[in-house]
């Protein structure tokens, strides 16, 4: 009989978070969606309801190239961080016997996060530049005559920076899923005659599927929404969707930028809705 009162009261518990999300997530996104339908000229925004921004963006070669580039970065980074993350997590979860050692090594993995992203990216420049350490070593030892150009300001350096920045986001969820695997299952697989590789692919991978999917979500969101890494590490030579939006903002073309942002958002949501078909995320958290 006091159910209505209790239901009403329980709303207070979710009120703070709802308010924060409303103000800082829902409201900005709504604003972006609204602005994406506005018109603009060189120096002002014109409230309107036009599909021009979308029409322009969706038919432009620049957008297509930027998307292809973004997907390339995302998939390459995903693949490399997946292999690295799985290997590191596997080592931590199954090869380290003592809990103390495991925790220490895990903390070691997080050390790169003690400095800012920008510093970490910039620190690659003296290493990979034309006169950098790596090229110095290569030319000095006579392995190459000319400094290697593709080390910096190239797709290579962009993906390298992404991998460096984000591998931990793959390690953590996979490690988390792996620690929940009963060690007896591995013995049971051995008992059935499975080799290490068979055990990994038939038992461990299926059982840490949720960790892999969550890691994938992190990596894809981070890479696809990024603009600073691509700008810095490609030296402005390649463009991702993030860079595209950033450029439009610096030219004060807010409605165009908003339209591109909405398209990017929808793209990512479609990818995730496909991903989440493979795993019941609620069960795993």
Partner 1 sequence: MKKGAIELVCINKAYGNKEAIKDISLSIAAGHYCCLLGPSGCGKTTTLRIIAGHETPTDGDILLDNRNVTGLPPRKRGTALMFQNYALFPHLNCVDNTAFSLKISGVAKATRHAQAIEMLKLVNMESYTDALPDQLSGGQQQRVALARALINQPDVILLDEPLSALDPFLRGKMRVELKRIQQQLGITFVHVTHSQEEAFALSDQVVLMHDGVIEQQGTPKEIFQQPKTAFVAHFIGGHNVLEGQIHQNEFHTGSIRVKGLAQALSSSPRTNVPQQFSLRFDRIKAAPQPDEGLHTQPFTVDAVEYQGAVIQVQGHYQKGPELSVYVSDKAFFAHPFQPGQEIYLGWDAHDLNPLQPPVHS
The site for partner 1 (CB under 8 A) is made up of 182, 184-185, 187-194, 198, 202-203, 206-207
Closest CB to partner 1 among residues 8, 201:
201
Work out the angle between the directed axes of helices 99-110 and 155-179 (0-180°, nearest 10): 150
Structure tokens at 53: 């921004």
Residue 70 makes CB contacts below 8 A (sequence gap 6+) with: 223, 224, 240, 241, 242
Shortest separation between residue 203's beta carbon and partner 1, angstroms: 6
Give CA–CA dist 131/125, Å, rounded. Answer: 10
Give CA–CA dist 75/69, Å, rounded. Answer: 10
Instruction: Tell me the torsion sign for CA atoms 145, 151, 155, 160.
Output: positive
Closest CB to partner 1 among residues 177, 264:
177
- How many CA atoms does the CB half-sphere of 26 hold within 13 Å? 7
Closest CB to partner 1 among residues 188, 266:
188
CB atoms within 10 A of CB 274: 9
Closest CB to partner 1 among residues 75, 205:
205
Closest CB to partner 1 among residues 87, 196:
196
Shortest separation between residue 192's beta carbon and partner 1, angstroms: 3
Shortest separation between residue 202's beta carbon and partner 1, angstroms: 7
Shortest separation between residue 176's beta carbon and partner 1, angstroms: 16
Closest CB to partner 1 among residues 9, 180:
180
Shortest separation between residue 211's beta carbon and partner 1, angstroms: 13
Give CA–CA dist 137/96, Å, rounded. Answer: 35
Shortest separation between residue 195's beta carbon and partner 1, angstroms: 8
Look-up of token digits 């005559």: 145
Structure tokens at 55: 């029409």
Closest CB to partner 1 among residues 192, 270:
192
Shortest separation between residue 220's beta carbon and partner 1, angstroms: 24
One-character DSSP codes across 256-283: HHHHHHHHHHHHHHHHHHHHTTS--HHH
């Amino acid at each position: 009989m006091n159910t209505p009162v209790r239901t009403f009261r329980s709303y207070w518990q979710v009120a703070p978070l709802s308010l924060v999300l409303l103000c800082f997530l829902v409201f900005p996104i709504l604003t972006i969606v609204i602005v994406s339908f506005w018109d603009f000229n060189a120096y002002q925004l014109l409230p309107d309801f036009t599909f021009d921004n979308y029409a322009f963006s969706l038919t432009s070669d620049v957008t297509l190239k930027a998307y292809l580039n973004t997907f390339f970065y995302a998939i390459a980074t995903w693949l490399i961080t997946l292999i690295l993350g799985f290997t590191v997590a596997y080592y931590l979860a199954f090869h380290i016997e003592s809990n103390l050692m495991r925790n220490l090594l895990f903390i070691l993995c997080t050390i790169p996060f003690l400095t800012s992203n920008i510093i970490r990216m910039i620190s690659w420049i003296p290493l990979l530049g034309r006169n950098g350490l790596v090229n110095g070593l290569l030319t000095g030892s006579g392995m190459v005559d000319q400094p290697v150009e593709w080390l910096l300001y190239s797709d290579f350096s962009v993906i390298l920076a992404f991998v460096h920045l984000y591998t931990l986001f793959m390690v953590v969820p996979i490690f988390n899923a792996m620690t929940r695997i009963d060690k007896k299952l591995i013995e049971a697989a051995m008992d059935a005659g499975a080799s290490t590789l068979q055990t990994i692919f038939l038992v461990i991978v299926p059982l840490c599927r949720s960790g892999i999917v969550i890691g994938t979500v992190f990596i894809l969101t981070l890479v696809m929404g990024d603009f600073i890494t691509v700008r810095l590490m490609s030296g402005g030579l390649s463009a991702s969707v993030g860079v595209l939006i950033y450029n439009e903002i610096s030219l004060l073309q807010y409605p165009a930028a908003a339209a591109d942002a909405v398209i990017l958002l929808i793209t990512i949501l479609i990818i995730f809705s496909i991903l989440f078909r493979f795993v019941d995320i609620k069960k795993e958290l």
